[in-house]
Amino acid sequence: MRIHLLMILAVFAIAESQSLQETISPILVADRLYWFGYDGEENQAYRIVAKFHSQSELADALRLDAGIGEYAGSSWTLANILVEVDLNANGYVASWMISGPAFLISAYIDDLQQLYETGVLMYDFSASEIDAKPTAFFEQEGE
């Protein structure tokens, strides 16, 4: 009986400490979101969530060959900055993460924001910046 009670209390204590950590601790983003730039260009990363009017509009927005700009003598596409995509079953909704040179990422977010504001392509849009430093940055910070 005591062992069962102790096990139950331990489970609750672990769950409580996990919930406190989730509300207090910053999210550690690993290297997969870190883009190492040329000429000191900063890295920038975002998580984007959008709701589209139709499946074809969602597909157009996430075309891997869609151009997003020029940098370091080459044309960059969505495939160059895309880290992760989630297409859920709640209508034409997508969430995706991007990471790359700061000015390209900012321009991409601005373009999506304009499409949202004009009602073209999507009817809901949000973009949240992610602190995408390499893991080594956080490891050195604790020393």
CATH number of the structural domain spanning residue 47: 3.30.70.260
Q: How confident is the model at residue 54 (pLDDT cuts 50, 70, 90)?
A: very high
Is 16 domain-assigned?
no
Pair 97, 45: CB distance under 8 Å: yes
pLDDT for the residue 131: 80
Does some domain include residue 1? no
Question: What's the confidence (pLDDT) of residue 52?
Answer: 94
What pLDDT is attached to residue 23?
46
pLDDT digits (tens, 9 = 90+) for 73-122: 889 999 999 999 999 877 899 999 999 888 899 999 999 999 999 988 89
Q: Is 56 inside a domain boundary? A: yes
Which residue shows structure tokens 């849009």? 125
Asked if the structure places residue 9 within a domain, the reply is no
Residue 14 lies in a domain: no
Token pair 């910070």 is found at: 141
More confident position, 1 or 131: 131
So what's the pLDDT on residue 105?
A: 93
81: Cβ–Cβ under 8 A, 6 or more apart, which residues? 35, 68, 98, 99, 100, 104, 105, 108
pTM for the model stands at 0.69
CA–CA gap between residue 27 and residue 54 (Å, rounded)? 33
Range of the domain at 130: 31-139
pLDDT in tens, 19-50: 444 444 444 444 566 666 556 678 889 999 99
In the numeric block, which tokens belong to residue 13? 């204590």
40 located within any domain:
yes
Number of domains within the chain: 1
